[in-house]
Amino acid sequence: MNPIRAATCPDSWGVWNPVDPLQTPPERFLDEASAAGYSAIELGPLGYLAATPEDLLPELRHRELELTGVMLMGRFHAAQAVDDLADSLDQLLAIATAADARYLILLPRGEPPDQRTIDGEGWRLLAESAHTLADRAAVRGLRTVLHPHADTPVESEAEIERFLELTDRHRVNLCLDTGHHAYAGGEPVAFVREHRARIEYLHLKNVDSAVLARARSEGWDFGEAVRNEVFCLLEEGSVDMRALKQVLDETAYAGWAVVEQDMYPAPFDKPLPIARRNLAYLRELGFDV
């Protein structure tokens, strides 16, 4: 059986911004990620953890933490997207290379409802930007994946499939987030089974179906849904994690599975017990932790 390695990320500690007094301090996040039993983390927003390899690597080594990948957020369907993101990309690639992280994760920026649907030219630009950024990352030895995300132009199953149709699997693939996929009305387990060849990085989260139903009926945006705990413990939500693990085993997935139970804002004492429970559940399912 191929190993599926569990990791975590700052989002599971209520971190959405580089600097924010409502967020868990970076040193506490690193300490608690290690204390919870994780051996690897994702970087989180650029500037939250140390922004240079010289500052970050000693912190990771001190806690025996690996870095799985770095995330670049942007309006990838904008005409000047690659130029606008050049400085951030360079910083992220320097960190990833120094830390031996293997993935660049592209995260579409959230849009107002009336700007969320993009036209044919927007799709062309999005694919072109993804290819260009992926090519630049490949020079540094990184693979590139796009993270479909709630309240962005790449959210629904139809939108994800259009992205796959427009992109070259040898250059860019998917970071599938099970929680965002279910939040958008998709069926994550079935989607993984159908599109496994294009999925090479995972974010694991689960969805409270009752909270989601309320979010839909009351017209909440993503931030309000998160504040009302639409994402829940991996063992408790509507996504069948046992079935997902079975599909991953059947399709020989061997890679990262990053636990990302979005919460914001969060009391500082809330994330650690949740992180421990989620990791214990992944152990029970047979993930390599």
Quote the domain boundaries for residue 26. 5-285
Residue type, 64: E
The span from the CA of 73 to the CA of 18, in Å, is 12
**Number of domains the chain contains:** 1
274's CB contacts (< 8 A; 6+ apart) are: 12, 233, 261
Model pLDDT, residue 173: 98
> Mean pLDDT for each consecutive 10-residue tract of the chain (289 residues)?
88 97 98 98 96 96 98 97 98 98 98 94 98 98 98 97 98 98 98 98 98 97 97 98 97 96 97 98 94
For the full predicted model, state whether its pTM sits above 0.85.
Answer: yes
* CA–centroid distance for 265 within its chain: 18
CATH number at residue 81: 3.20.20.150
85's CB contacts (< 8 A; 6+ apart) are: 72, 74, 133
The span from the CA of 21 to the CA of 6, in Å, is 28
The span from the CA of 262 to the CA of 4, in Å, is 21
82's CB contacts (< 8 A; 6+ apart) are: 129, 132, 133
The span from the CA of 167 to the CA of 64, in Å, is 36
Contacts 24+ apart (CB under 8 A), 281-286: 281/233, 281/234, 281/235, 281/241, 282/6, 282/204, 282/234, 282/257, 285/241, 285/242, 285/245, 286/1, 286/4, 286/245, 286/249
